[in-house]
Structure 1
């Protein structure tokens, strides 16, 4: 409450003699919270509270300036010392809310194609040497969240010798292929919860952890989402649409679509392992349980992808030993 009061006071100092209504807007999986201030004339801003002892807003400011080729919120005021920001308000309708409100697949396709157009623009604006690299060291560290948190804490197990061998074979197979992909700016959480429905083009949020890495990462984040799921044929159609748009725009995607789709699926395996570990960590370490129920979706993604490719057979065998080979129940499947 003290930080919220301080944030309101800070905003009032930037907008003197202007009264505003104040309401909680959202919270992230980390320590950030957002509030919406609506002024008497109807204008509104979104205020971010990022406790400086927990995190810095400097990466957000840096990436916001880099991502000027897409629709990110303008920064109206910022105070790095206090961890406060006032941001352009992109509205209250996320892509997730819009998609869940209207279950018709043609509507979903239209919205997702708009998001893909925005992603292509982001990737076209990429420059090497500006953001840190999304390299094998980072990817391996992320994947290690799976045994450290999902297996150890969620399942209460540890790898035996055979399972450790299967895990190592998985790492040795995935990492060289993933790091060989063309490199672009990677948002790293380009999901429907972080896209806003606006009158013009999709608004893009939560980009402060961006890196420079594999071209398929953000596409798989969008189409193999944590909170909403589509049939394989629908996803395949959208991957083809992205591939065609990317090639037409001059991005260095693989000219062989089958090879590109393998890259897409293998990139998804890396992300799904990471997110299953993150969601387990949020529950067991941080006491945040709202993401825990989505872990089965990622286990389903992992099993489907790993059993399609002979090279990923060690991962499939490991998953079957850990959680079985039956599909697990999830919500919002279309």
Structure 2
């Protein structure tokens, strides 16, 4: 089936680009059933998408075309196969807001330039919510036209069956169901005639030289303003500090007030209710992918979600009585089984790119050892004018490497060594491991290789990955020569 899918994508790429595909590279799988391939010809490149859910495809394609007319930075739809199961879209590169945040912060601190970027994201969110609904064909929405009571109950039951039960949290089935209905009825009282993006979080915001770009809104529908803001500010692994969350909440309200009348007290009250249902929905997803499908890397988000629950339970008093639900949530925060999950992810892997002109990075963990890979054996795009002012994160440079077998073969050997080392380090409960990639300028080959290894490790192992590019000082902008 995979071969047939690839052949079909190659056919539509040739129809669109007027040239054959030279390289096809699968992107790491996410939490959905969609499959993405980066496709590169001699002059053009695109992301090829395979998804058998035609209704979901129609929503994404229709929404994309609508948002494009509003000037929102969403992928351009290049070509759609007549079956509507295959299509080509614009490629925004590899760097998500979550990647930038993870690779730039020290501890829990958030750099000021990232806070400013979040505010730009919020500016766009308000535009999605207010302008995006105007003229939008809501009949495309899948699986529901709005985030109504039925949708809320689906999320709450998802949390019950795939998180509470699989984590062995005790609860009374009927009392919890009663609370679910009271909770959903309360949330439905908020104004809800806006576009709700549904999954507005840091992995669905791309960092580009032109600012933020947005993906994965195919689950969009009518709903309340608070839900998407809750998704962004209480994004589990983004782990935004409480004081920054409050600053961004204030900023959102200030932007919103310039556009519509806002009862700030009511808005804030409903906001924390939507924070709670969003956390529960996300924990249901972590449980399904982690406990049920045995994909351990999804479990790494659970400790962050528990921290968010602790904050809500200690700081927020919702104006609706939910005793059974509150008891279940309190059990989550003290569960020994869930505490063990947070203790498993205690191996930190440092991945760096560097220039040999400046020297090999020092291992500050005190362990010594690790790996240094010399990328100078690989064809260098920096020799060509069109790539000189770009880095290994830029889509043009990515396409260059994915046309070259040298990088693919090189990384295959790197992944093999990484597999052997990390399996042993996890077994022996070691705490630190380092991988360094060097090239002449530390801008193209080493950056690309470090990005690929980091993505590979995050996908396959329950480890904490820290990625640092020593020669790239400003993450969002690939236009400045280093």
Could you tell me the TM-score, scaled by structure 1's length?
Answer: 0.86
* Higher Rg of the two aligned structures: 2
| Offset from partner CA, 1:111-135 (integer Å, 9 cap, x none) | 1011001101112212388421111
Instruction: Check conservation: 1:167, 1:318, Cα contact below 8 A.
Output: no
Write the mapping of 1:74-153 to structure 2, written as runs, cut at 5 A: 74-79=76-81, 81=83, 83-103=85-105, 104-125=110-131, 126-127=133-134, 130-131=137-138, 132-152=145-165
| Residue 226 of structure 2 is aligned to residue 216 of structure 1 | yes
Task: For residue 331 of structure 2, give the secondary structure of its aligned residue in structure 1.
Answer: helix
Task: For residue 79 of structure 2, give the secondary structure of its aligned residue in structure 1.
Answer: strand
Which residue of the partner structure matches residue 429 of structure 2?
none
In structure 2, C-alpha distance between the alignment counterparts of 1:129 and 1:9, rounded to whole Å: 31
Across the aligned residues of Structure 1 and Structure 2, the Cα RMSD in angstroms comes to 2.7
| Offset from partner CA, 1:183-204 (integer Å, 9 cap, x none) | 2101101111111112223111
Tell me: CA distance 1:5–1:19, structure 2 relative to 1, closer, same or farther (3 Å): closer
Displacement of 1:31: 1.1
Tell me: CA distance 1:4–1:156, structure 2 relative to 1, closer, same or farther (3 Å): farther
Write the mapping of 1:223-302 to structure 2, written as runs, cut at 5 A: 223-250=233-260, 252=261, 254-256=262-264, 258-302=265-309
Tell me: CA distance 1:16–1:128, structure 2 relative to 1, closer, same or farther (3 Å): closer
Write the mapping of 1:307-322 to structure 2, written as runs, cut at 5 A: 307=314, 308-309=316-317, 311=320, 314=323, 315-322=325-332
Residue ranges of structure 1 left out of the alignment (5+ in a row): none
Tell me: CA distance 1:63–1:221, structure 2 relative to 1, closer, same or farther (3 Å): same
Which residue of the partner structure matches residue 160 of structure 1?
172
Displacement of 1:298: 2.1
Displacement of 1:223: 1.0
Instruction: Check conservation: 1:186, 1:214, Cα contact below 8 A.
Output: yes
Could you tell me the TM-score, scaled by structure 2's length?
Answer: 0.61
Which residue of the partner structure matches residue 12 of structure 1?
14
Displacement of 1:158: 5.5
Task: For residue 321 of structure 1, give the secondary structure of its aligned residue in structure 2.
Answer: helix
Instruction: Check conservation: 1:47, 1:85, Cα contact below 8 A.
Output: yes
Tell me: CA distance 1:46–1:118, structure 2 relative to 1, closer, same or farther (3 Å): same
Tell me: CA distance 1:318–1:30, structure 2 relative to 1, closer, same or farther (3 Å): same
Which residue of the partner structure matches residue 303 of structure 1?
310
Instruction: Check conservation: 1:136, 1:179, Cα contact below 8 A.
Output: no
Displacement of 1:66: 2.9
Residue ranges of structure 2 left out of the alignment (5+ in a row): 139-144, 346-463, 466-482
Tell me: CA distance 1:270–1:313, structure 2 relative to 1, closer, same or farther (3 Å): same
Instruction: Check conservation: 1:226, 1:298, Cα contact below 8 A.
Output: yes
Tell me: CA distance 1:196–1:180, structure 2 relative to 1, closer, same or farther (3 Å): same
In structure 2, C-alpha distance between the alignment counterparts of 1:84 and 1:142, rounded to whole Å: 29
Instruction: Check conservation: 1:184, 1:213, Cα contact below 8 A.
Output: yes
Instruction: Check conservation: 1:59, 1:209, Cα contact below 8 A.
Output: yes
| Residue 63 of structure 2 is aligned to residue 66 of structure 1 | no
Instruction: Check conservation: 2:97, 2:205, Cα contact below 8 A.
Output: yes
Task: For residue 100 of structure 2, give the secondary structure of its aligned residue in structure 1.
Answer: helix
In structure 1, C-alpha distance between the alignment counterparts of 2:86 and 2:28, rounded to whole Å: 15
